[in-house]
Amino acid sequence: MTFPRSTGILLHPISLPSLGGIGDFGPAAYEFLDFLAKARQGLWQVLPLNPPANGNSPYSSTSAFAGNPLLISLERLAERGWLDAATLSRHDPCVGPIDYDRVNREKLPLLWRAAKNFLERTSGESRQRFELFAKENFWWLEDFVLFDTLRQQHGKNWNHWPSPLARREQSAIESVQRELKADLSVRRVLQFFFWEQWHALRNYCAQKSIRVVGDIAIFVDYDSADVWSHRNLFRLREADLLPEVVSGVPPDYFSATGQRWGNPLYDWPAIRSSGYRWWIQRLRWATQTCDFIRLDHFRGFAQFWEIPADEPTAIKGCWVDGPGDEFFLKLRDELGGLPFFAEDLGLITPDVVALRERHNIPGMAVLQFAFGDPGAHTYLPHRLNAHCVIYTGTHDNDTTVGWWSSLNEKERRAVVGLIGPCEDGPNWGLIRLAQSSPANFSVVPLQDVLGLGSEARLNTPSTHTGNYHWRCEPGALKAELAAKLTALAEVTDRLPEPVPVPRTEIFIA
């Protein structure tokens, strides 16, 4: 698929300065989109929007389909009468790093109150839209709300639930569906709220000629409705329902023991025999949610590192062939195209490049990786073509200002040799380098536009604390920044193209 020459900003919604202690789909999101439009940016890239499973990472989720309720805007619920506006006026409006314990303690009860109010008061069009949502999404929604309820009741390790529930015996499932009917209804409404607000936001994006770039993690969390409800698609042991093999990457220059991620691996022969149905549903859902999709850890579709589950490190793993060409041919037939680009960073073998190129899927380049040694120069613009997505840095990198402060003298000379001294900072030097590259998509984290240091880093891979806490300060999106980005978009031929606007709808949530 050919991507239009565009530029945009990477900002996960949690980082917006919204009410409630965490960014959401409310007024701050619309203000951010207004800024993008003024800055002539045609792309907004987000991270996965699913509910986190363990920790705060959006890449570890309890569902590949459900939305994170914490992204629901309290203000929009109040505007529609599902919350008392006076309640919000008493809510702490301060903005700072996300305190997840506090958000779960204070925001979630308000969301539940709104959902209960909706169930008690709604009628007419509101009820009809909710019932249509529940009917059209039955195929994932029912498994998720039941899993989410049982997880709260019995704990995170679903293999330790009472055996009839862990193994989804029909009589046990029907019994809890009756017993927990009220709880399940609330969780359905929360998902309805999420998707109503997200689709309203996407409508606004289209009106502003902004396309949304989403993100799909190749693996799913063991602690998820997907594994619990589709055990046959994963390599699990029948005796205790635990994974027999798990995901990771082998030892390399950065780690003598490799990385043991621990996700259950797919049973690709079983998935193939089902016609790739679950994957088709997953990626069709993604393309209905966003305009373009980043496929995380693309090399896993060519070969993946298989680690015996009882091994504490990734050392004793082995490479195993992934689904390869057949998978993408099937997706193309089912979806009518492949609006994807590949996260193909790190040590990528020729077979992975060949798979990506055969299916016309763009790869990625990150400028922060481009100056370490001559081998890294493959990420520099003179080595790229249009079929690529270029970043100054990603959510896994330090900010460019933080990165610059960590460079040694030799690396700094290499950077300055290419971009010059940059009186407005190394962040703007890399932004200009990315924008002027031949890559069709150029994406910049908002932290780099704002010139922030390491205090604004969103995530540090292989660490388990302190991640996904950063939020943008109110008033940070200055008119002069928009003007500067506009000038760059104009001179680098990256002005946004019109986006087909979905039919006008009155959103209930």
Which of 24, 148, 343, 448 is the catalytic position? Answer: 343
For the CA atoms of 77, 80, 86, 88, what is the dihedral angle to 10 degrees? 20
Q: Is 396 a catalytic residue?
A: yes
Q: How far apart (Å, rounded) are the C-alpha atoms in residues 86 and 25?
A: 20
Q: How far apart (Å, rounded) are the C-alpha atoms in residues 383 and 6?
A: 19
Which tokens is 196 given?
């109503």
Q: Give the closest residue to 403 by CA, choosing from 378, 379, 371, 435.
A: 371
First-to-last CA distance in the chain? 34
Q: HSE of 504 in the Cβ direction (CA atoms, 13 Å)?
A: 0
How many degrees, rounded to 5, is the angle at CA 110 between CA 192 and CA 504? 35
Which of 31, 84, 296, 311 is the catalytic position? Answer: 296
Q: Is 333 a catalytic residue?
A: no
Q: How far apart (Å, rounded) are the C-alpha atoms in residues 82 and 192?
A: 13
Q: Give the closest residue to 212 by CA, choosing from 43, 455, 70.
A: 43
Q: Give the closest residue to 235 by CA, choosing from 304, 151, 313.
A: 304
Q: Is 101 a catalytic residue?
A: no
Q: How far apart (Å, rounded) are the C-alpha atoms in residues 390 and 392?
A: 7
Q: How far apart (Å, rounded) are the C-alpha atoms in residues 345 and 15?
A: 25
Q: Give the closest residue to 214 by CA, choosing from 52, 363, 58, 47.
A: 47
Q: Which residues are catalytic?
A: 296, 343, 396
